[in-house]
Amino acid sequence: MDKTINIKDVAKAAGVSIATVSRVVNGLVTVKRGNKARVDEAIKKLKFRPNVSAQRLAAKQNNAIGLVIPRYTDIFHSFYALQILQGVGLAVEKMRLDLLLHITNGNTFLNISAVEGVIFSDIIGNEEQVDNILQMDMPCVIMNYVTKDLPVSCVGIDNIGGAVKAVQHLIDLGHRNIATITGELKSQVAIDRMDGYIKTLEKNKIEKKGIFVKYGDFGRDSAIKATKELIRLKTPPTAIFAASDEMAVGAIQVAVENGINVPGELSVMGFDDNPLAIGFSPVAVTTIRQPLHQMAIVATETLRDIITKKIRGNKKIKLPCELIERSSCAPLT
Amino acid sequence: MDKTINIKDVAKAAGVSIATVSRVVNGLVTVKRGNKARVDEAIKKLKFRPNVSAQRLAAKQNNAIGLVIPRYTDIFHSFYALQILQGVGLAVEKMRLDLLLHITNGNTFLNISAVEGVIFSDIIGNEEQVDNILQMDMPCVIMNYVTKDLPVSCVGIDNIGGAVKAVQHLIDLGHRNIATITGELKSQVAIDRMDGYIKTLEKNKIEKKGIFVKYGDFGRDSAIKATKELIRLKTPPTAIFAASDEMAVGAIQVAVENGINVPGELSVMGFDDNPLAIGFSPVAVTTIRQPLHQMAIVATETLRDIITKKIRGNKKIKLPCELIERSSCAPLT
DNA sequence: CTGAAAGCGCTAACAA
DNA sequence: TTGTTAGCGCTTTCAG
């Protein structure tokens, strides 16, 4: 006797047809006050909950989207992943969509038929899935990876622009001997940030010295090594642009340990505005903030548009970064 | 002409009935080889994907569970949240369940009718939702919060036991003057860890001095303040048990800055095994690891059992912690 | 081993 | 404004 109650039961209890019940459930206005009230009451009394599967089947749309995230092993991506999650979570909430989450290493698949579209957060390891989705014409957007090679909408961060802002800030502060510690150059992000560095130097007609570009991997240790080399130079840089906050913190630590005042004698610029990293810095890190949250929201909205307008999205969106001034950069004296 | 193809199309293409197609789709063995092959081929050729809503409607079960997570503003919870997410993600994958994620501040609700059960990761701010769910007899388990007051299954961490392990380790190392820096005592977690500290002291017949218990809030700054006070004591402690790694790192930093050797002159024990925090420590932090991942998995399995066995779960599970020895604790010399 | 057919619970014409 | 009814795509007896 614990049969789940359905629309028919409600109809009976309220003395109307199931169509009317359906109407009030879906908020269609064409229902007389009295009836609506009775139905509402019946729903409450019976604790009626519409069966979503039936709704979706009948309405031929399921109001759910999928989010697939690579299974990061690297814990330092957690800040990133969480921002994404929050952003998408916020957006689906507003759009009254269900969110199916799929965390994967690329070997498992999202239950595609349970969603109307999918967002890929990054694409590493999931190329195959993206292909699948694309082939079956399922609405799709890729986040944090912008490629012209795929006929998909992408929304990412303008890393070049961010790097330009960073380096230009240093230049505006009077610095000319500016070094950089790059990220893992296998990633688009790292390349873009280095590009921004080079571009800005050129634009300001500052000679770029090979000795000032150190190859890191976004991690602190690589920055420590690089910085040690940098400060040992006959003419050491007066400023360092690190491609991640983690590396910026590493650089600052090396400086401090070597009695070099930051920012007095050495300015250090980070990237990410990653609270995890900068929280542990002896000096508040001046950095570039990426609109991660916004990226997630834009991605969700883009997907929604693709779904509702039945278009085949192929926009490439890049969101601008913001300079966050704190205390690790100062004018050259 | 882009009508989605359904089971009928496949049946026609394979020259069998839809019932047979359904059987092969569901892996029922009662299908002749030849037919199965033809159906499989048709499915592939037509790119057939069963409609999940229809499946669920017909089968009367939807194979999806919900996970509701509080919208943390505190970024230092990111490690925690991500571990949970990964654990649950892994588990649902194995059980072939869909995962509906709902990140909330307590004002928005999970689409309950889209799932068969829900897991609450923590309960802060979501008490009302838990009540709702419970009232409607929906399968439910609460994670990381164990309460006897609610008729729900809970799976949490044995924080008391973890603290006992931590302090006992210090005692085994010969320490007698052991201080503690507590977490935010509003939380169950913090209270339990302090309880473990006190209990262990008593068990070892070590007098506990009020001056050795400092009230922190899990954050680094509170630990810095506390440690400064501690080292200024006439007889300072030879060991500190911090209720979080963040605080342990703070303590270590203060010690180092004051020329106190860790662990030579001062042993520091953390809690959490939080890579975010300990990655920035000058000394590798000896700490207590919580089985976060496992907790998530157990929670998911528990929920699954409640759903399939149609029982009304009310188990209270506490998972044990593990001592991770690194280099911030040493024998008293 | 297979097919026919009766639903699953709901939405959306269509008619009234 | 409301009710009737035909599906939505699939699972699952029940016969055969």
Q: Are A289 and A321 in contact (CB under 8 A)?
A: yes
Residues above pLDDT 70, as percent of chain A: 97
Helix ranges (DSSP H) in B61-158: 78-95, 127-135
C-alpha distances (whole Å) from A25 to each of A35, A51, A53, A55, A312 are 12, 11, 15, 11, 32
Provide the pLDDT for residue B47: 85
Q: Which two tokens stand for residue A299?
A: 């991605």
Tell whether the model's pLDDT for residue A96 goes beyond 90: no
Provide the pLDDT for residue A246: 92
- Going by pLDDT thresholds of 50, 70 and 90, the confidence category of residue A95 is confident
B57 beta carbon < 7 A from strand C? Answer: yes
Q: Are A270 and A241 in contact (CB under 8 A)?
A: no
Provide the pLDDT for residue B122: 83
Tell whether the model's pLDDT for residue A152 goes beyond 90: yes
Nearest partner of B151 among B310, B305, B296, B315, judged by Cα:
B315
Length of chain B: 333
**Residues (22-51, chain A) with CB within 7 Å of strand C atoms:** 22, 25-26, 48, 50-51
Considering only CA atoms, which residue is closest to the C1' of nucleotide D5?
A19
Provide the pLDDT for residue A73: 58
Tell whether the model's pLDDT for residue B95 goes beyond 90: no
Q: Are B269 and B126 in contact (CB under 8 A)?
A: no
Q: At what angle do helices A78-95 and B78-95 cross, to 10 degrees?
A: 70
Distance spanning both ends of chain B, measured CA to CA: 83
Provide the pLDDT for residue B2: 47
Which of left, alpha, beta for B95 (phi over 0: left; psi -120 to 50: alpha)?
alpha
Could you give the 3-state DSSP secondary structure of residue A69?
strand
Tell whether the model's pLDDT for residue A276 goes beyond 90: no
Q: Which two tokens stand for residue A217?
A: 């991997």
Q: Are A172 and A139 in contact (CB under 8 A)?
A: no
Class of domain A159-290: alpha beta
- Going by pLDDT thresholds of 50, 70 and 90, the confidence category of residue B75 is low
Which chain B residue's Cα is nearest to A94?
B108
Residue with tokens 């300015």: A267
pLDDT, tens digit (0-9, with 9 covering 90-100), for B13-68: 999 999 999 999 888 877 888 888 999 999 888 888 888 889 988 888 778 999 99
Which range of A26-35, A212-221, B122-131 scores highest in mean pLDDT? It is A212-221
- Going by pLDDT thresholds of 50, 70 and 90, the confidence category of residue B3 is low
Rounded to an integer, the average pLDDT of A76-96 is: 86
Residue A250 backbone dihedrals phi, psi, to 5 degrees? -60, -45
Residue with tokens 């079960």: B61
Could you give the 3-state DSSP secondary structure of residue B231?
helix
Please indicate if any CB of chain B lies within 8 Å of the CB of A279: yes
pLDDT, tens digit (0-9, with 9 covering 90-100), for A193-219: 999 999 999 999 999 999 999 999 999
Fold of B1-50: 434 Repressor (Amino-terminal Domain) (1.10.260)
Going by their DSSP bridges, the two strands B239-242 and B267-269 should be labelled as parallel
Provide the pLDDT for residue B104: 86
User: Of all nucleotides in the shown strands, which has a C1' nearest the CA of B8?
Assistant: D9
- Going by pLDDT thresholds of 50, 70 and 90, the confidence category of residue B1 is very low
Q: Which helix (DSSP H) or strand (DSSP E) does residue B201 occupy?
A: helix B188-203
**Residues (107-136, chain B) with CB within 7 Å of strand C atoms:** none
Q: Which helix (DSSP H) or strand (DSSP E) does residue B252 occupy?
A: helix B245-257
CA of B19 to C1' of C4 (A): 9
Provide the pLDDT for residue A200: 98
Rounded to an integer, the average pLDDT of B6-18 is: 91
Tell whether the model's pLDDT for residue B196 goes beyond 90: yes
Length of chain A: 333
Give the minimum alpha-carbon distance from B219 to chain A in angstroms, rounded to a whole number.
11
pTM across the whole model: 0.87
**B112:A275 CB<8 A:** no
CA distance A304 to A185: 33
Domain borders along chain B are: 1-50, 159-290
Rounded to an integer, the average pLDDT of A143-147 is: 90
Chain A positions touching B78 (Cβ under 8 A) are 78-79, 82, 276
Q: Which helix (DSSP H) or strand (DSSP E) does residue A140 occupy?
A: strand A140-143
